[in-house]
Chain A
């Protein structure tokens, strides 16, 4: 299995297909913008489809990855043009693994308010990490000093073909 990572400053859809057809892992380095969030989301959807996830799981995986990318761009890097986000996508026989990292001040997951608590239910924000945890099987936080890396893991079911 090839383990090499491919770095793109910008990702075009044809790059993504080429990378996926020859490797099991791709790594993107992108600017801190909404456009990058959309690219990361689209890549997650493509990967999840080719990993064999069903039509209900694919949009949920894509949404979780989008939320992680939004966190990295908005809350981590605060749209700073001098900072980048990285996103890596990997499929193994058992899992799809996505890592999203920023260069921000760091995020302590224990300080995130519960969006389901009565005092927070009408807040206009703060549901991103909750949705990530709702749609993925495992979510891990790692402090990068500076920055935060989120690892999102979705397990394949036995019925899904390995890639």
Chain B
């Protein structure tokens, strides 16, 4: 199953609702392209909603890290929302849980972006 992306705006924040698998190949490329599209349109405050991500591999983890550093290096912010237990556990064992700003409520996540 490939990954799907739905893009929406809430209070100036771009929310990417992701579903499916972020794995080597299509999923990772889809995520990379989606983040690039957001940045190209002038928005650099991105919330990745991972609530419907069923599976992520090391390539997908790497793509999340690359998206985070790309946005941050451009002066923006990227946060993660609604981690499944599997993704949560993977970010814990790879010590990335404290690198990302992770939220479990959309309203508070949107409010946490600097204005």
Contacts and interface: CB of A to CB of B under 8 A. Distances in A.
B24 A127 contact: no
Interface in A47-67: 59, 63, 66-67
Interface string B1-44: 00000000000000000000001110000000000000000000
Interface stretch (B55-63, B75-83, B104-112): B55-63
Contacts of B57: 63, 66-67, 70, 131
A115 B65 CA distance: 12
Interface residues of A, number: 21
B86 A37 contact: no
Interface in B82-115: 86, 90, 93-96, 99
Contact-residue size bin, chain B (C-beta under 8 Å from the other chain): 20 to 34
Given A59-B86, A67-B57, A74-B24, A122 B93 contact: no
A128 interface: yes
A72 to B, nearest CB: 12
